[in-house]
Amino acid sequence: MELTTIVILLAITLAAVFTILSYNNLVRLKHNVTRNWSNIDVSLKQRHDELPKLVEVCRQHMAYEQETLDRIVRARSAVAAAHGRADLRALGLAETELRAGLGQLFALAENYPQLKANESFRHLAERITRLEETIADRRELYNESVNIHNIRIQQFPDLLIARLGSFRLFELLEFYEARDDVDLAQLFA
Protein backbone atom coordinates (compact mmCIF):
# COMPACT_ATOMS: atom_id res chain seq x y z
CA MET A 1 0.00 0.00 0.00
CA GLU A 2 1.06 3.43 -0.77
CA LEU A 3 1.81 5.97 1.98
CA THR A 4 -0.85 8.37 0.69
CA THR A 5 -3.52 5.65 0.89
CA ILE A 6 -2.45 4.77 4.43
CA VAL A 7 -2.64 8.44 5.50
CA ILE A 8 -6.09 8.84 3.90
CA LEU A 9 -7.38 5.65 5.56
CA LEU A 10 -5.93 6.74 8.89
CA ALA A 11 -7.57 10.19 8.58
CA ILE A 12 -10.93 8.61 7.70
CA THR A 13 -10.63 6.19 10.62
CA LEU A 14 -9.75 8.99 13.05
CA ALA A 15 -12.65 11.12 11.78
CA ALA A 16 -15.05 8.20 12.18
CA VAL A 17 -13.81 7.43 15.71
CA PHE A 18 -14.06 11.13 16.65
CA THR A 19 -17.59 11.33 15.25
CA ILE A 20 -18.71 8.22 17.10
CA LEU A 21 -17.18 9.35 20.40
CA SER A 22 -18.67 12.84 20.08
CA TYR A 23 -22.11 11.49 19.21
CA ASN A 24 -22.05 9.07 22.14
CA ASN A 25 -20.97 11.87 24.48
CA LEU A 26 -23.85 14.07 23.28
CA VAL A 27 -26.29 11.19 23.82
CA ARG A 28 -24.95 10.75 27.36
CA LEU A 29 -25.42 14.47 28.08
CA LYS A 30 -28.96 14.39 26.70
CA HIS A 31 -29.87 11.43 28.89
CA ASN A 32 -28.31 13.19 31.89
CA VAL A 33 -30.72 16.07 31.37
CA THR A 34 -33.64 13.65 31.03
CA ARG A 35 -32.65 11.74 34.16
CA ASN A 36 -32.25 14.94 36.17
CA TRP A 37 -35.67 16.13 35.01
CA SER A 38 -37.16 12.79 36.11
CA ASN A 39 -35.68 13.35 39.57
CA ILE A 40 -37.39 16.75 39.79
CA ASP A 41 -40.60 15.21 38.49
CA VAL A 42 -40.67 12.63 41.30
CA SER A 43 -40.34 15.33 43.97
CA LEU A 44 -42.94 17.56 42.30
CA LYS A 45 -45.41 14.66 42.26
CA GLN A 46 -44.73 13.82 45.90
CA ARG A 47 -45.29 17.42 46.94
CA HIS A 48 -48.35 17.62 44.68
CA ASP A 49 -49.84 14.70 46.63
CA GLU A 50 -49.08 16.26 50.03
CA LEU A 51 -50.55 19.72 49.39
CA PRO A 52 -54.26 18.78 49.52
CA LYS A 53 -53.66 17.10 52.87
CA LEU A 54 -51.97 20.23 54.22
CA VAL A 55 -54.73 22.49 52.92
CA GLU A 56 -57.38 20.27 54.52
CA VAL A 57 -55.65 20.25 57.90
CA CYS A 58 -55.26 24.03 57.74
CA ARG A 59 -58.85 24.54 56.62
CA GLN A 60 -60.03 22.85 59.81
CA HIS A 61 -58.16 25.39 61.95
CA MET A 62 -57.90 28.53 59.80
CA ALA A 63 -61.47 29.51 59.07
CA TYR A 64 -60.54 33.12 58.23
CA GLU A 65 -57.65 32.36 55.87
CA GLN A 66 -59.61 30.92 52.94
CA GLU A 67 -57.91 33.26 50.46
CA THR A 68 -54.47 31.87 51.31
CA LEU A 69 -55.69 28.29 51.05
CA ASP A 70 -57.37 29.01 47.72
CA ARG A 71 -54.14 30.60 46.47
CA ILE A 72 -52.27 27.37 47.20
CA VAL A 73 -54.92 25.23 45.53
CA ARG A 74 -54.89 27.47 42.40
CA ALA A 75 -51.10 27.46 42.28
CA ARG A 76 -51.03 23.67 42.69
CA SER A 77 -53.40 23.36 39.73
CA ALA A 78 -51.27 25.75 37.67
CA VAL A 79 -48.15 23.70 38.45
CA ALA A 80 -49.90 20.51 37.37
CA ALA A 81 -51.18 22.13 34.14
CA ALA A 82 -47.77 23.58 33.23
CA HIS A 83 -46.13 20.26 34.04
CA GLY A 84 -48.62 18.42 31.83
CA ARG A 85 -47.86 20.77 28.93
CA ALA A 86 -44.09 20.50 29.58
CA ASP A 87 -44.01 24.32 29.68
CA LEU A 88 -41.00 25.06 31.88
CA ARG A 89 -41.54 28.83 31.89
CA ALA A 90 -45.15 28.46 33.06
CA LEU A 91 -44.02 25.82 35.54
CA GLY A 92 -41.45 28.22 36.98
CA LEU A 93 -44.07 30.96 37.33
CA ALA A 94 -46.58 28.60 38.92
CA GLU A 95 -43.92 27.24 41.29
CA THR A 96 -43.09 30.78 42.32
CA GLU A 97 -46.74 31.42 43.13
CA LEU A 98 -47.03 28.14 45.02
CA ARG A 99 -43.92 28.84 47.07
CA ALA A 100 -45.21 32.32 47.93
CA GLY A 101 -48.54 30.83 49.00
CA LEU A 102 -46.85 28.21 51.17
CA GLY A 103 -44.66 30.87 52.75
CA GLN A 104 -47.72 32.93 53.57
CA LEU A 105 -49.53 29.86 54.92
CA PHE A 106 -46.67 28.93 57.23
CA ALA A 107 -46.42 32.53 58.43
CA LEU A 108 -50.16 32.66 59.11
CA ALA A 109 -49.99 29.33 60.95
CA GLU A 110 -48.08 31.17 63.67
CA ASN A 111 -51.40 32.82 64.61
CA TYR A 112 -53.06 29.46 65.21
CA PRO A 113 -51.50 27.63 68.20
CA GLN A 114 -53.89 24.70 67.84
CA LEU A 115 -52.81 24.27 64.22
CA LYS A 116 -49.11 24.46 65.11
CA ALA A 117 -49.70 21.84 67.80
CA ASN A 118 -51.52 19.54 65.38
CA GLU A 119 -49.37 16.49 64.65
CA SER A 120 -50.64 16.17 61.06
CA PHE A 121 -49.84 19.80 60.32
CA ARG A 122 -46.32 19.52 61.76
CA HIS A 123 -45.65 16.32 59.85
CA LEU A 124 -46.99 17.72 56.55
CA ALA A 125 -45.16 21.04 56.98
CA GLU A 126 -41.87 19.20 57.62
CA ARG A 127 -42.47 16.85 54.69
CA ILE A 128 -43.27 19.70 52.30
CA THR A 129 -40.27 21.70 53.53
CA ARG A 130 -37.99 18.71 52.88
CA LEU A 131 -39.53 18.25 49.43
CA GLU A 132 -38.98 21.95 48.68
CA GLU A 133 -35.31 21.57 49.59
CA THR A 134 -35.05 18.44 47.44
CA ILE A 135 -36.69 20.21 44.50
CA ALA A 136 -34.26 23.12 44.86
CA ASP A 137 -31.25 20.78 44.92
CA ARG A 138 -32.51 18.75 41.97
CA ARG A 139 -33.37 21.89 40.01
CA GLU A 140 -29.80 23.10 40.46
CA LEU A 141 -28.46 19.77 39.18
CA TYR A 142 -30.92 19.77 36.27
CA ASN A 143 -29.98 23.32 35.24
CA GLU A 144 -26.29 22.45 35.42
CA SER A 145 -26.79 19.42 33.15
CA VAL A 146 -28.86 21.57 30.76
CA ASN A 147 -26.08 24.15 30.62
CA ILE A 148 -23.43 21.52 29.92
CA HIS A 149 -25.59 19.93 27.22
CA ASN A 150 -26.52 23.23 25.57
CA ILE A 151 -22.93 24.47 25.51
CA ARG A 152 -21.66 21.26 23.96
CA ILE A 153 -24.21 21.20 21.13
CA GLN A 154 -23.38 24.81 20.30
CA GLN A 155 -19.60 24.39 20.23
CA PHE A 156 -17.65 23.45 17.15
CA PRO A 157 -17.12 20.60 16.11
CA ASP A 158 -19.87 19.02 18.27
CA LEU A 159 -22.25 21.50 16.65
CA LEU A 160 -21.98 19.58 13.37
CA ILE A 161 -22.70 16.25 14.99
CA ALA A 162 -25.55 17.75 17.06
CA ARG A 163 -27.20 19.08 13.92
CA LEU A 164 -26.88 15.76 12.14
CA GLY A 165 -28.24 13.95 15.20
CA SER A 166 -31.12 16.42 15.68
CA PHE A 167 -30.05 17.33 19.20
CA ARG A 168 -32.06 20.23 20.60
CA LEU A 169 -31.46 22.84 23.25
CA PHE A 170 -33.13 22.23 26.61
CA GLU A 171 -34.79 24.98 28.62
CA LEU A 172 -33.66 25.88 32.13
CA LEU A 173 -36.12 25.48 34.97
CA GLU A 174 -36.23 28.84 36.69
CA PHE A 175 -38.26 29.91 39.68
CA TYR A 176 -38.85 33.61 39.85
CA GLU A 177 -38.38 35.55 43.02
CA ALA A 178 -41.32 37.54 44.26
CA ARG A 179 -40.70 41.23 43.69
CA ASP A 180 -43.27 42.57 46.13
CA ASP A 181 -42.37 43.19 49.75
CA VAL A 182 -44.41 41.18 52.20
CA ASP A 183 -46.22 43.26 54.79
CA LEU A 184 -45.32 41.26 57.90
CA ALA A 185 -47.35 43.53 60.16
CA GLN A 186 -50.47 42.67 58.17
CA LEU A 187 -49.72 38.95 58.31
CA PHE A 188 -49.45 38.96 62.10
CA ALA A 189 -52.19 41.49 62.83
Rounded CA-CA distance 47/184 in Å is 26
Instruction: Kindly give, in sequence order, each residue whose CB lies less than 8 Å from that of residue 15, ignoring residues fewer than 6 positions away.
Output: none
CATH number of 3-187: 1.20.1440.20
Nearest of 92, 94, 45, 48 to residue 71 by alpha carbon: 94
- pLDDT tens digits, 167-180: 999 999 888 765 45
pLDDT band (50, 70, 90) for residue 83: confident
Nearest of 189, 186, 179 to residue 97 by alpha carbon: 179
Q: What pTM value is reported for the model?
A: 0.77
- pLDDT tens digits, 139-151: 999 999 999 999 9
What DSSP assignment string belongs to 63-79? Answer: TT-HHHHHHHHHHHHHH
Parse the chain into domains and list their residue ranges. 3-187
pLDDT value of residue 189: 47
